[in-house]
Structure 1
Amino acid sequence: MQHITSRAAAKTARAVAILTAVCLMFLCLPARAAEALMTPIIEDISPKTAMTLTTGSTRTIEVLASRDADLTVTVGKTEIEMSRTGSTSDSGLYWYEGSYTAPSSAAGTTVSISATATLNGRSQTRNGGAFKVVAMENSYDGSSGTVEGDMLVIENAQSFSGQQITVTDSYADVFIPAESDRNEDYAAPYYYQLPEGTIDYVSSGPDANNIYWLKSGRKVSANDVEVSANSGSQGENRITGISLSADSECTYLSVDESWKVPFNIEVLDVTYASSTSNTVTSFSPRVVRITFDYTTGIYNGDVSIPGNSCFTDVRVYTQTTNGIPQCVIELTLAESAYYGAYADYSGDTLELKFYNPVSSL
């Protein structure tokens, strides 16, 4: 027993000696060397969250790293060329920017974002979010997909039916399922509120929290809606007309539909601090994207853009997300400025109002 105890004591003594040597090594380092070991050479990467990217579309990658570091950024197996900007953080690191354009060969895959900075033999890596790449089924110029006259259409789309709710409040806050959400118990800031009259199909509910789960993937409070049909279908929605007008203050978009489908408005590019945060770390508005659910066709003709509009270009295409046929309108902003949108219906025409950027206050 005494022999075993002595062996254990010897092992403990050796471990203490090793730890002491390591501590002394760091204590003996010159101040600058110690500081170098502690100083981060890469601090942040954006985007941090997973997002869907249509083939042919481009997203900005941002990395915060030392100005003297060798920076390698990859999206999947693709290396991204990065350029250092003049923007710095409080810690003195610099923001680098690059862009990734989703190739058609990546359709159906999810590619991860990663950045590695190397300086004086030290390397640090930060992992970002990921792009789920989906194929663009049709494009504005009709170069792919099905064209019927002046319409782009999705053929053999899934049909939907069942209990339906209609928004009765001026606007209904939108929530999304907890497994996809950032764990907040308030309305999702990345979903546009549904205006009065919007119709959706019920998946389940109301639950114990008085929430309806909808087939579009949204959740809404039962206080903001009413059951408008217990069965049946609204049929396929088609967008048969798109028009723009403007005055000195606002730009107006009119969208003629078959019925009042749920839609979402996104502004590109917006990035968040993390997958569990709604803190915006970057906002560089360049495109307004409006996505219409349950929609199988969209007007593909010319859209006149007034000279004083806040938009310079209009593009339309179709896609299918989680089995739901969708048509998309993308509006290119004339300036990197966005002041929100107001929505209401005139019959089955969706009327959207966007404030024009101001040159001075």
Structure 2
Amino acid sequence: MYLIDQMRLVVEARRAGSPIIEGIETSRWIASVMDDILGRAELVLLEPSALALAADLRIDTPDRLDRMIEVLFREPRNLFIETVNAERMAKLAGMRGFPRVQLQPDRHDPSRVGLHIHVEGNGRGTIRPVWCFPRRLGSGRISNPGLSRLEREALEVLSRFGIGHSRIVVDTARRSSVGFAEFALRSDLQVPGLMAASAAVAKVTRKAVLHEAWRTWRLNSTCTAEFDRDSVPAARECAMQAGLTPEEFIARSEHDLDGELIHALAVMAVVAARETVPTVLTSIRKGRDAKRVCRPGRNDILLDRIGIVSAAPVHALREPAPGTAFEAPASGRASPVRHPVRGHLFLARNGRLTWRNAHWRGDAEKLGATRIR
């Protein structure tokens, strides 16, 4: 069942005035966040084929990342983008710049992930993750006879849901322009020998450690973690149940955001590409899909607002005919050996997300091998 449908059950129970929802701080706060998402956001389901398009995006340098953030957070919009976690990790693992996230010891991989992205415009916005975990990690079927069917189902959903108490705040006005050379010099002056020691521990070069630190520092100048003050009563309740101090709970909630920014940019780019790239397809969830994921006998109040984003099949590139002219390399570079380039999504210089068709690139006369003695 989609996250959207599960959230709807909780929202319906809340609107019905269920005391089991309103009587617990955590449940009340989660239900209010869900109500805000379903009531205001554009709801999008991302298919694996659309995730594959996101994997080709190049955001591996601070300048590319800054440019992508600037484009995606330019115009106001309110989005909720849902994916299957295993599919997004498999598809995006090969994307340049996608971080290798380490789970905290007592954390589990979710089954589905949603991102509530509120873009205020002019380079500002917030990102809040929503996680749904496998049924085996929830409370199981609730059989309390004093509860209605709707309340029982809502509680089962709440037992498997997680919503970030912290969120990512994006503000391009805080962007730093410090280059790699200046960052390396400052690092050596402030903490001499730190980068060299870190490189020895990680068994990589000092330059590699410096570059990763510079990339992270540049990203953190634009995007920061912020604790949601509206969640304080719920967070206090959760911290007490987990035996954590408020400081420990806040630190853990910020750690839970690791990797979600890059994921958000990737899926936002695919959703934004619907307007300019014919390869990206959008359909409204129809009746057969609704019956498959919704409880029998209930009307899907969100049916007309759920867009399913997928990608058209990409045809294989054929061997070119003799004498075919190939794409010239970028200026100043020597012509490479002729090779096929698959179709891919990219951010053009004019700030628009564009689809480049599969094509051949390079010099056919360079085919062959040279033996060096």
Give the shorter-chain TM-score range. under 0.3
TM-score for both structures, normalised by structure 2: 0.22
Answer 1 or 2: which has greater helix percent.
Answer: 2
* Larger Cα-atom Rg: 1
TM-score for both structures, normalised by structure 1: 0.23
